[in-house]
Chains A and B, each alone.
Chain A
Amino acid sequence: MTLLLIILFPLLGAALPAVAVRWGRNASAGAAAGVTAIPLALLLFETPRVLAGGTIEAGWRWVPAIGLDLTFRLDGLGFLFALLILGIGLLVILYARYYLSQRDPVGRFYVFLLLFMGAMLGIVLSDNLLLLLVFWELTSLSSFLLIGYWKHHADARQGARMALAITGGGGLALLAGVLLLGHIVGSFELPVVLRSRELIQGSPLYLPMLTLILLGAFTKSAQFPFHFWLPHAMSAPTPVSAYLHSATMVKAGVFLLARLYPVLSGSDAWFYLVSGTGLVTLVFAAYVAMFKHDLKGLLAYSTISHLGLIMLLFGLSTPLAAVAGVFHIINHATFKASLFMAAGIIDHESGSRDMRRLNGLWKYMPHTATLAMVAAASMAGVPLFNGFLSKEMFFTEALELHQTGTLWWIVPAAATLAGVFAVAYSLRFIHDVFFNGEPVDLPRTPHEPPRWMKVPVEILVVLCLLVGIFPAYTVAPLLNVAAGSVLGGPLPEFDLAIWHGFTFPLLMSVVALSGGVLVYFALQYRFNLHMIVQSPSPGRRFYNRGLAWLTGLSEIVTGGLQNGSLQRYLALLVTVILLAGAFPFWQLGWYSGSRSPGMMDGGSGVAWLLLVVSAACTVIWHRQRLLALVFVGVTGLMVSLIFVRFSAPDLALTQILVEVVSIILLLLALYLLPQTTPRESSVTRRMRDAGLAVAAGLGAAGLVWAVLTRPQDTISGFFLEQSVPGGGGSNVVNVILVDFRGFDTFGEIIVLAIAALGIYAMIGGLRVERPALDPARRPWAADSHPLLLRVASRILLPLALMVSVYLLLRGHNEPGGGFIAGLVTAVALITQYLASGIAWTEARLRLDHQRMIGIGVLIAALTGVASWFFGAPFLTSAFAHWHLPVLGELPLASAMIFDLGVYLTVVATTMLMLVTLGKIGAREEV
Chain B
Amino acid sequence: MSHLIIAPVVLPVLAAVLVLLAGRRQTLTRAISVVSTSGLAAVALALLIAADTGEYQVYTLGQWAAPFGIVLVLDRLSALMLLLTAVVGVCSLLYAVQGCDQQGKNFHALFQFQLMGLNGAFLTGDLFNLFVFFEVFLIASYGLLAHGGGEARLRAGIHYVVINLAGSALFLIAVSLLYGVLGTLNMADLALKVAAADIEDAALIRSAALLLLVVFALKAALFPLYFWLPDAYSSASAPVAALFSIMTKAGVYSILRVYTLVFGAEAGAAQWVAAPWLLPAALATLALGMLGALASRRLKGLIAYLTVASVGTLMAAVGLFSVDGIGAALYYMAHSTLIIAVLFLLSDLIARQRGDHRDHLERAAPVAQPVLLGVLFFAGAIGVAGLPPLSGFIGKVMVLQSATATGAVYWVWGVVLAGGLLSIISLSQAGSLLFWNTDVKAEKPPLAAPASAAAIMPVAALLAGIAALSALAQPMKRFAGDAAVQLLHPAGYIRSVLG
Q: Footprint of B on A, CB under 8 Å? A: 61-66, 68, 130, 133-135, 137-138, 141, 144-145, 148, 151-152, 154, 157, 160-161, 164-165, 168-169, 172-173, 175-176, 179, 183, 547, 550-551, 553-555, 557-559, 561-562, 564, 566, 569-570, 572-574, 576-577, 580-585, 587-591, 700, 703, 706-708, 710, 712-716, 718-719, 722, 726, 739-744, 747-748, 750-751, 753-755, 757-758, 760-762, 764, 848, 850-851, 853-855, 857-858, 861, 864-865, 867-868, 871-877
Contact across chains for B288 and A561 when beta carbons are under 8 A apart: yes
Contact across chains for A747 and B132 when beta carbons are under 8 A apart: yes
Tell me the minimal C-beta distance from B38 to chain A in angstroms: 20
29 contacting pairs across A/B (C-beta < 8 A): A64-B474, A65-B478, A133-B388, A154-B437, A164-B428, A176-B413, A557-B288, A557-B295, A564-B231, A566-B158, A573-B166, A580-B210, A580-B213, A584-B202, A587-B206, A588-B206, A707-B177, A715-B184, A716-B183, A739-B62, A743-B129, A747-B129, A754-B110, A758-B110, A758-B146, A854-B19, A855-B21, A865-B10, A873-B63
Docked Cα-Cα span, A566 to B204, in Å, equals 30
- Given A562-B227, A751-B135, A873-B59, residue A66 in contact with residue B397 (CB < 8 A): yes
Docked Cα-Cα span, A467 to B167, in Å, equals 75
Contact across chains for B404 and A183 when beta carbons are under 8 A apart: yes
Tell me the minimal C-beta distance from A591 to chain B in angstroms: 4
Tell me the minimal C-beta distance from A894 to chain B in angstroms: 10
Residues of A within 8 A of B421 (CB): 165, 168-169, 172
Q: Is B81 an interface residue (CB 8 A)?
A: no
Contact across chains for A582 and B294 when beta carbons are under 8 A apart: no
- Report whether over half of chain A's contact residues are helix, strand or loop; otherwise say mixed: helix
Other-chain contact of B201, A135, A710, A714, A861 (Cβ < 8 Å): A710
- Given A165-B428, A703-B177, A741-B69, residue A762 in contact with residue B133 (CB < 8 A): no
Tell me the minimal C-beta distance from A269 to chain B in angstroms: 19
Contact across chains for A573 and B163 when beta carbons are under 8 A apart: yes
Contact across chains for A757 and B70 when beta carbons are under 8 A apart: no
Q: Is B45 an interface residue (CB 8 A)?
A: no
Tell me the minimal C-beta distance from A703 to chain B in angstroms: 6
Other-chain contact of B291, A557, A742, A743 (Cβ < 8 Å): A557
- Given A762-B143, A876-B63, residue A179 in contact with residue B401 (CB < 8 A): yes
Tell me the minimal C-beta distance from A230 to chain B in angstroms: 17
- Extra contacts besides A558-B291, A739-B64 (13): CB < 8 Å: A66-B398, A68-B473, A554-B291, A557-B292, A580-B210, A580-B211, A588-B206, A700-B173, A703-B173, A751-B139, A761-B107, A861-B10, A867-B62
Contact across chains for B68 and A750 when beta carbons are under 8 A apart: no
Contact across chains for A712 and B294 when beta carbons are under 8 A apart: no
Most buried by A among B1, B291, B435, B478: B291
Tell me the minimal C-beta distance from B396 to chain A in angstroms: 8
- Given A65-B478, A706-B204, A754-B140, residue A148 in contact with residue B436 (CB < 8 A): yes
Contact across chains for B180 and A740 when beta carbons are under 8 A apart: no
Tell me the minimal C-beta distance from A741 to chain B in angstroms: 6
Other-chain contact of B105, A584, A714, A760 (Cβ < 8 Å): A760
Docked Cα-Cα span, A865 to B367, in Å, equals 50
Q: Is B109 an interface residue (CB 8 A)?
A: yes
Q: Is B456 an interface residue (CB 8 A)?
A: no
Contact across chains for B417 and A864 when beta carbons are under 8 A apart: no
Cβ-closest chain A residue relative to B429: A161
- Given A148-B432, A758-B139, residue A569 in contact with residue B474 (CB < 8 A): no
Contact across chains for B387 and A874 when beta carbons are under 8 A apart: no
Question: Interface size of B by Cβ–Cβ distance < 8 Å?
Answer: 122
Q: Is B3 an interface residue (CB 8 A)?
A: yes
- Report whether over half of chain B's contact residues are helix, strand or loop; otherwise say mixed: helix
Q: Which positions 166-181 of chain B face chain A at CB distance < 8 Å?
A: 166-167, 170, 173, 176-177, 179-181
Other-chain contact of B162, A138, A570, A591, A753 (Cβ < 8 Å): A570
Tell me the minimal C-beta distance from A110 to chain B in angstroms: 14
Residues of B within 8 A of A582 (CB): 207
Residues of B within 8 A of A718 (CB): 68
Docked Cα-Cα span, A433 to B485, in Å, equals 70
Nearest first, the 4 A-B pairs at minimum CB distance are: A758-B143, A854-B20, A714-B183, A707-B180
Other-chain contact of A588, B203, B210, B230, B389 (Cβ < 8 Å): B203
Other-chain contact of B183, A585, A715, A874 (Cβ < 8 Å): A715
Residues of B within 8 A of A130 (CB): 397
Cβ-closest chain A residue relative to B147: A761
Residues of A within 8 A of B201 (CB): 591, 710
Residues of A within 8 A of B378 (CB): 145
Q: Is B393 an interface residue (CB 8 A)?
A: yes
Contact across chains for B61 and A65 when beta carbons are under 8 A apart: no
Docked Cα-Cα span, A751 to B34, in Å, equals 22
Residues of A within 8 A of B214 (CB): 573, 576-577, 580
Tell me the minimal C-beta distance from A919 to chain B in angstroms: 14
Q: Is B99 an interface residue (CB 8 A)?
A: no
Tell me the minimal C-beta distance from A161 to chain B in angstroms: 5
Cβ-closest chain A residue relative to B160: A566
Docked Cα-Cα span, A164 to B167, in Å, equals 42
Docked Cα-Cα span, A60 to B60, in Å, equals 46
Residues of A within 8 A of B424 (CB): 164-165, 168-169
Tell me the minimal C-beta distance from A904 to chain B in angstroms: 12
Tell me the minimal C-beta distance from B81 to chain A in angstroms: 18
Most buried by A among B14, B113, B436: B436
Contact across chains for B294 and A550 when beta carbons are under 8 A apart: yes
Other-chain contact of A874, B62, B185, B273 (Cβ < 8 Å): B62
Docked Cα-Cα span, A758 to B394, in Å, equals 40
Q: Is B477 an interface residue (CB 8 A)?
A: yes
Cβ-closest chain A residue relative to B410: A208
Residues of B within 8 A of A758 (CB): 106, 110, 139-140, 142-143, 146
Q: Which positions 389-431 of chain B face chain A at CB distance < 8 Å?
A: 389, 393-394, 397-398, 400-401, 404, 413, 417-418, 420-422, 424-425, 428-429
Other-chain contact of A747, B133, B146, B292 (Cβ < 8 Å): B133
Other-chain contact of B139, A574, A755, A855 (Cβ < 8 Å): A755
Other-chain contact of A742, B23, B61, B170 (Cβ < 8 Å): B61
Docked Cα-Cα span, A307 to B14, in Å, equals 68
Q: Is B17 an interface residue (CB 8 A)?
A: yes
Contact across chains for A750 and B210 when beta carbons are under 8 A apart: no
Contact across chains for A554 and B110 when beta carbons are under 8 A apart: no
Cβ-closest chain A residue relative to B59: A873
Docked Cα-Cα span, A874 to B163, in Å, equals 34
Q: Which positions 99-153 of chain B face chain A at CB distance < 8 Å?
A: 104-107, 109-110, 113, 116-117, 120, 128-129, 132-133, 135-136, 139-140, 142-143, 146-147, 149
Contact across chains for B139 and A137 when beta carbons are under 8 A apart: no
Contact with A along B33-76 (1 / 0, CB 8 A): 00000000000000000000000000111111001111000000
Most buried by A among B60, B142, B203, B404: B203
Residues of B within 8 A of A851 (CB): 20-21, 23
- Given A585-B207, A873-B61, residue A757 in contact with residue B109 (CB < 8 A): yes
Cβ-closest chain B residue relative to A163: B428
Residues of B within 8 A of A855 (CB): 17, 21
Docked Cα-Cα span, A175 to B392, in Å, equals 14
Residues of B within 8 A of A857 (CB): 13, 16-17, 20
Contact across chains for B61 and A874 when beta carbons are under 8 A apart: yes
- Given A566-B159, A761-B105, A876-B62, residue A747 in contact with residue B388 (CB < 8 A): no
Contact across chains for B3 and A757 when beta carbons are under 8 A apart: no
Contact across chains for A587 and B139 when beta carbons are under 8 A apart: no
Q: Is B224 an interface residue (CB 8 A)?
A: yes
Contact across chains for A151 and B211 when beta carbons are under 8 A apart: no
Residues of B within 8 A of A169 (CB): 421, 424
- Given A584-B202, A591-B203, A747-B133, residue A757 in contact with residue B393 (CB < 8 A): no
- Given A873-B63, A876-B62, residue A868 in contact with residue B3 (CB < 8 A): yes
Contact across chains for A134 and B388 when beta carbons are under 8 A apart: yes
Contact across chains for B17 and A61 when beta carbons are under 8 A apart: no
Contact across chains for A761 and B388 when beta carbons are under 8 A apart: no
Q: Is B460 an interface residue (CB 8 A)?
A: no
Residues of B within 8 A of A719 (CB): 68
